[in-house]
Amino acid sequence: MSRPADHRSVRRVVLPSGKTIEVLYFQANPAPVEHSAAVSETEGLHVCPSCASKLVAPVAWEEAGSAHWDVTLHCPNCDWLGSGVFAEALVERFDEELDRGTEALVRDLQRLMRANMEDEIDRFVAALGADQIWPMDF
Ligand SMILES: [Zn+2]
């Protein structure tokens, strides 16, 4: 069953690089309980310490001193929420991972658009072949 559309909310998060991403929530008031599981700095901030999903996204992101960031993270898979102060290099790796995720989504979207177009063209060609399209259709 699909979730009702009115239970979605979008939050804008500004990344250290200056880019803004939108995080989509499927609840009106996203208030998951903060869990004790800690982020693995070797795995990276995008890996959920609770369910190992690689879809963790930043909820809030704030400078904490000259080389650290205070980041609140959320896992859309298990609703894990955590925060911590992380070194700049780790946060930059996370930023790159988010970029890769965005690129993967754009590639999927392009593939989907191409597949839809190919499907439309196939149907159009089949209709032409079956003499079902006439000049008055345009
Ligand atoms: Zn998780």
**CA 111 to ligand 1 centroid distance, Å:** 28
Measure the CA–CA gap between 103 and 107, rounded to whole angstroms. Answer: 6
What pLDDT, in 10s, does the model give residues 59-78? 999 999 999 999 999 999 99
Beta bridge partners of 74: 57, 81
Q: Which pLDDT tens digit goes with each residue over 9-26?
A: 777 777 767 777 777 766
Asked if 56 contacts 37 with a C-beta cutoff of 8 angstroms, the reply is: no
Instruction: Give residue 92 CA to ligand 1 midpoint distance, Å.
Output: 21
Residue matched to tokens 């000049």: 135
Measured CA to CA, the distance from residue 63 to residue 79 in angstroms comes to 24
How far does the centroid of ligand 1 lie from the alpha carbon of residue 53, in Å?
5
Q: Tell me the whole-structure pTM to 2 decimals.
A: 0.58
The Å distance, Cα 68 to ligand 1 centre, comes to: 24
What is the pLDDT, as a whole number, of residue 71? Answer: 93
**Among 125, 123, 101, 105, residue whose Cα is nearest residue 113:** 105
Using the mean position of ligand 1's atoms as its centre, give its distance from the Cα of residue 36 in Å. 12
Distance (Å) from CA 80 to ligand 1 centroid:
5
Cα separation, 86 vs 13, in Å, equals 17
